[in-house]
Amino acid sequence: MKRLSIVWLACCWYGQALTQPVNRPFEKEVAAFAHQDSLHPPPRKPILLIGSSSFTKWTDVQQYFLGYEILNRGFGGSSLEDLIYYAPQVLLAYTPRQIIVYCGENDLAASPQPTTKQVLKRFKQLYNLIRNQWPSVPIIYISIKPSPARWLLESSFVEANERIKGYIQKQKNIRFLDVHTAMLTTAGETRPELYIGDRLHMNEKGYEIWKSLLSPLLLPSNSVENPESLQ
């Protein structure tokens, strides 16, 4: 009888385990966006930043682009798959005048590492998701940056950038922004002065490079939108 009771309890526990919701990475971070929006309504038509930690850590991005309405919805060390999964919360919940994407680096840093063809496939899924919602909203895709901490992945970063760039060049109203080259020396080596102590994330000098490249491409709130300017 005692043995039957133990078996019954074990079956109950196993059944409950199967019905428990699986916590996906970044759930709390993404849920916090809705809470922020309830306290401080977002701009009606912002320039929307979506992507991984290079955006997450750009907490003062609005100060880099005074005169523009920036909404930063970068979260954690997200991948393109995470971005697609959380699109209803970080993307489709808004009405952007322009979308800026930085994502793909963490896909290639994952284990097991996907191929660059798989990363391109994920990017296409994200792009199609955006286009199904907004057929002509201007998009800027920021290339995967080089990082001293991930220098062993440099060849994969370069290959993925080339694949994504090739695809983007065949699409409308989307621009591939190469920050990768600008963050290397003329000899093709990394520039440690652009990064914080982890040799992965950028400091102010790194973000200044991004600012200089992004600024000419941003659509101000009072402008007449011209998606063809991104061709």
DSSP classification of residue 105: H
Nearest partner of 225 among 95, 60, 93, 102, judged by Cα: 95
Which residue ranges make up each domain of the chain?
42-221
Rounded Cα distance between 173 and 208, Å, is: 25
The alpha carbons of the chain give a radius of gyration, in whole angstroms, of: 20
Residue 22's pLDDT band (boundaries 50, 70, 90)? Answer: low
Identify whether the C-beta of residue 168 lies closer than 8 Å to the C-beta of residue 223.
Answer: no
The pLDDT of residue 222 is: 66
The pLDDT of residue 226 is: 47
Alpha carbon of 170 to those of 117, 161, 164, 176, 231: distances in Å? 17, 15, 10, 11, 10
How far from the centroid of its chain's Cα atoms is residue 212's Cα? Answer: 19
Nearest partner of 177 among 90, 51, 87, judged by Cα: 51
Instruction: Of 49-58, 88-97, 216-225, give the lowest mean pLDDT range.
Output: 216-225
Rounded Cα distance between 31 and 76, Å, is: 13
Residue 88's pLDDT band (boundaries 50, 70, 90)? Answer: very high
Nearest partner of 96 among 3, 213, 219, 201, judged by Cα: 219
Residue 11 has pLDDT above 80, yes or no: no
How far from the centroid of its chain's Cα atoms is residue 1's Cα? Answer: 56
pLDDT one-digit tens code per residue, 156-203: 999 999 999 999 999 999 999 999 999 999 999 999 999 999 999 999
Beta bridge partners of 195: 202
pLDDT one-digit tens code per residue, 42-62: 999 999 999 999 999 999 999
Q: In what order do the strands lie in the sheet with 47-51?
A: 70-74, 47-51, 98-102, 139-142, 174-177
- What percentage of residues in the chain have a pLDDT greater than 70? 86
Rounded Cα distance between 120 and 109, Å, is: 15
Rounded Cα distance between 205 and 17, Å, is: 48
Identify whether the C-beta of residue 178 lies closer than 8 Å to the C-beta of residue 147.
Answer: no
Rounded Cα distance between 199 and 203, Å, is: 10
Regarding the domain with residue range 42-221, which homologous superfamily does it belong to in the CATH classification?
SGNH hydrolase (3.40.50.1110)
The pLDDT of residue 221 is: 77
Beta bridge partners of 100: 49, 140
For residues 69-80, give the mean pLDDT: 97
Q: Strand, helix or coil at 98?
A: strand
Residue 38 has pLDDT above 60, yes or no: yes
